Chain A
Amino acid sequence: MDRSALQRGALGVDLRPGRALWLVAPVVLAALPFVADALGDASITTLATRIVILCIAAASLNLALGYGGMVSFGHAAFLGVGGYTVGMLYSHFVAGAPFLGFVPGTDQMLLTLPAAMIASGLAAAAIGALSLRTGGVQFIMITLAFAQMLFFLFVSLKAYGGDDGMIVRRRNALPFLDTRNDTTFYFVCLVLAAAWLGLLSRIVGSRFGLVLGGIRQSERRMAALGVPIYRYKLAAFVISGMGTGLAGALLGNFSRFVSPDMMHWTQSGELMIMVILGGVGTLMGPVLGAAALIGLETVLAGWTEHWQVVMGPLLVLIVLYLPRGLGSLVSRKAGGRHG
Chain B
Amino acid sequence: MLSVRGLQAAYGASQVLFDVSLAVEAGQVVTLLGRNGMGKTTTIRAIMGLTPAIGGDIAFEGAAVVGASPDAMARRGIGLVPEGRQVFPTLTVRENLVATAANRLNRRDPWTLARVYALFPRLEERHAQFARTLSGGEQQMLAVGRALMTNPRLLILDEATEGLAPVIRAEIWRCLALLKQEGQAILIVDKNLSVLKRLADRHVVIEKGRTVWSGDSGDLERDAELVRRYVGV
Contacts and interface: CB of A to CB of B under 8 A. Distances in A.
A220 B100 contact: no
Contacts of A217: 88-90
A106 B133 CA distance: 55
Contacts of A211: 99-100
B199 interface: no
Contacts of B82: 221, 224
B80 A224 contact: yes
Interface residues of A, dominant DSSP: helix
Interface string B57-98: 000000000000111011100011010001011110001001
Contact of A226 (B86, B89, B95, B150): B150
Contact of A210 (B73, B79, B99): B99
- Residue of A221, A224, A338 with most partner-chain B CB within 10 A: A224
B48 to A, nearest CB: 6
Interface string B29-66: 00000000000000000001010000000000000000
A228 B95 CA distance: 18
B174 interface: no
Interface residues of B, number: 27
Contacts of A218: 86, 88
A69 B80 CA distance: 24
A218 B132 CA distance: 14
A227 interface: yes
Interface string A212-239: 0110011011111111110000000000
A217 B100 CA distance: 14
Contacts of A222: 71, 100
Contacts of B102: 226
| Residue in B70, B91, B130, B147 whose Cβ sees the most chain A Cβ within 10 Å | B70
B115 interface: no
B71 A226 contact: yes
A302 interface: no
B70 A214 contact: no
B146 interface: yes
B88 A213 contact: yes
Contacts of B150: 225-226
A225 B90 contact: no
Contacts of A221: 82, 86, 88
B122 interface: no
A217 B88 CA distance: 7
A213 B146 contact: no
B69 to A, nearest CB: 7
Contacts of A220: 50, 70
Contacts of B228: none
A207 interface: yes
Contacts of A337: 90-91
B11 to A, nearest CB: 15
Contact of B71 (A214, A229, A336): A229
A223 B91 contact: no
A339 interface: yes
Given A207-B99, A210-B98, A211-B99, A224 B74 contact: yes
Interface of B: 48, 50, 69-71, 73-75, 79-80, 82, 86, 88-91, 95, 98-100, 102, 104, 130, 132, 146-147, 150
Interface of A: 207, 210-211, 213-214, 217-218, 220-229, 336-339
- Considering the complex of A and B, which 4 residue pairs feature the smallest CB-CB distances, nearest first? A226-B74, A210-B99, A223-B70, A225-B100
17 contacts: A207-B98, A207-B99, A210-B95, A211-B100, A213-B99, A217-B89, A218-B88, A221-B86, A224-B70, A225-B146, A226-B100, A226-B150, A227-B74, A227-B100, A336-B130, A339-B89, A339-B130
